[in-house]
Structure 1
C-alpha cells in the first residue's frame, strides 16, 4: 500500500510525536509498504531524501523560535503538497496533528477521495504552558484549542489515540469520528532488561554516584514535564543518599539548573543533556527508578521504555500515566504538582529496595503489550479496513473493530 504520513514535527527532532511518526514510517516500510512522510523542513527550504526506504519530503517552513526552538510551521498552501500527491499517488493518508501542513494535506486527500486516518498527540497543556495568563484563562484557551483540532479531526475516517485516557479526553472535547486507542509502541528488542550492564561503570560514564539511589527522567526539558516538582521533592527530603538524573534538552533547562542551585541540591541533580538512543537502554538498566512528573502525557514512550528495562516508576497521577503505573504494583503515583506527595512517594520507594525487583517485573509485563509488532499490525488492519470501506464511516467502524479486536469508540 502507498501510505502518506503528514506531521508538523519529525526526526531528528526528539518529542513523542516526532519519534512515533518516524518509527511508524520505518516499521511500515519494513512490512513492504511504500511510505512517504511530509513535514515542515528543519532547514526551512524544500528538501527530499530517502532514508530507511522512507521518502522524506520537507516543505518550505518558518522556524517559530520565539515559541520553541524545535517548532516549525508552514503558513501557506504549499504547491509541494499537490506535487507529492501527483507523484506518490497515496492510497491512504495518515495525519498526526491539526496544524497548517496537515490541514493542507487533509484538504487535498479529501478532494481526491483518499481515506484519512488521524492520530492525535495533542492536549491543550502542550500549548497553554507557553501562553500569557494561562492560569486565569485556561478554560477559554482549552475551548479554543480543542475547537481548532475538532474542525479537522471530526471529518476523518478514523482517529487513533495512544490510550484510553486520550480517547476519553477527545470524546469529552467533542470528537464524533470513529475513535480507536492504539499504543505508540516501543522496541522491546532494543529496550530490555540487561543483567550484563556494569551499573558502576555506566554511572561513572554519566557522572553519577554508584552509591546513591538514582531516579532518572528521560524526555524534553519543557515546562509541561514539571521537573521542578522532582527537584523540589528531592530538596524537601534532605536525603544525601538520593540523586536525580535528567536526560534531555529543552526550553526550561536553565531554569531548572538555577532551581537546583537555589535549593542546595545541585550536587545531586545531574543534567546529562541529550542521550543518544543507542545509549538509553544501558543508562536505564543502570539506575534504580524511572521518574515521570509530567501532567500532560497521553501515553509516555519514555516511561514505557523504562518499564521494558524492568524499572519501577515514580509518576504523577495525571493523564494516561496511571494506565502505565499502578500504585504499589510497579511503582508509586503522586498528586500532580504536589511536592510533598512526590517526596513521600519518592521516600517510600527509596526505603523499600527489596520491592524493586517485583515492581520491575510488573513493569516489564505491562510494557510487553506495547511492542511495535502489535502496533504495526493494528495500523495495517485499520488501513486495510478503510481501503475496503471507503465512503461508509459506520461500516468502516465495524470492519476496524472486527479486524483488530481493539475496543472502538470508548
Structure 2
C-alpha cells in the first residue's frame, strides 16, 4: 500500500478511535449540522502571542466557550476578557469535556503542538484554524490535509497575507504570463529575529509556578525546563519550532506557490549554512535550493531561499544583482521570468512591482479570477456557515501542500544532504536516514497515530 493511501485509511479509522482517557466521541456530526444563523462556538488553543489576535477574531465572529494555554498568566488575562469561557491547561481534557459544545477550534501554539491538537479536534469533527506552518513535520501536514478532506471540514492556515487583494492580484498577474515562463525564484528574509544558532542551555532552573511544562512539551522529547525555550524563542529549537523557514516561508513563497504550483518538488539541497548547533538549534543563516519539475505545462524551475538577515554573508546575496537597481528590502521575493520579473517588496506578495519598470509602465492588471476576501478569519467562518470548505483559500488542501514544500527544506537541513523526494511514498529516495525528520516520535499521550 502506498504511504499516501495508508495515511488516508488511517485518518478514516482514527476518526472512530479512542482518545485520551478512553473516551470515544459520538458528536462529530453535531458540528457539521448547525444552522448558518447560529453562532459558531469556538475553543481557542494557545491564547498568547499570535493566539491573542486569533482568539479575539474568534470572539468577534462567534462565541468562545473554552480557552486553553500552558501559561496561567496568559490564560487568566484572556479569561478576564471572555469570562463565560471555561479555562484549561490541557487541550486534550478540554476537547474530551466540551466536545459536543464546540464547533471549531483555533490552534495558535508552538509548531510542535499544531498537529496533535488539530488532529484530535478534527477527528472529533471540529472545523480548524491553525497557525503557520501548518505542522512540525511533513507526515503531520499530509495527515491534516487528508483528515480535512475525509471529514469535509472547513479549515484555514494562518497565513493572513492570502486574504489581501494585492496578493490575489499578484497570483493573477503571474498566471497571466505577464513575465513569461518562470525558471528561477529567489526569496529572502530577515529571520531569525530570535536567538538561534546557539548551544543548548545547560542550566536547569525550576519551573515557574505559572507554567505547565508537561503540557508545553506535549509531543516533544522530555527535557528540563529553561526560559530559553519560552515565549517567541521556541522557534529556534529543533524540538519545538521549524526555524526561519517555518516561521516565514508560508508567507514569503505563498504568492509564488499558488501561482506556479510549487508542490511536490523533485529535490532540495542546502547550498550553504552556518550549521545546526548541538543538534538542537537551527542555523544562524542558511541558503537552501529547491528543484521543481514540469507542472501542468509549466517548465522546471529552482527556488533559492536565504535566511539570516544581516548574519547572512553579503557575498552570498546573489539575488541583489537581479533587482534592476531596486532598493533591497529586509525580506522579499523575486520571480525571474523569460520576459521580466515579479518583485515583492514585503512578506506577503501583496505589494509587488514588475521589472524592469520601463518595460511595464503601461501594464494593465489582468481580469479578476480569484474571489476577493472579506478578511482571512472571516473567510473561514463564512466557509463554516455556508458548509463550503473551499471558500477559505488557504484551506488545508492547499496549506498542507505548501507546508510540505517548506518543511522539505527543514528536512534537508537536519539530514545534512540533498533530498531526492518521492512525494507519493513520502520518502527521500537517496537518504533513508531522513525518515526520522519526515515524521516524528511522540511522547505518550500526544501521538497523532
Give the TM-score category using the shorter length.
Answer: 0.3 to 0.5
TM value normalised by structure 1: 0.37
Identify which of structures 1 and 2 has the higher relative contact order when contacts are C-alpha pairs closer than 8 Å and 6+ apart: 2
TM value normalised by structure 2: 0.34
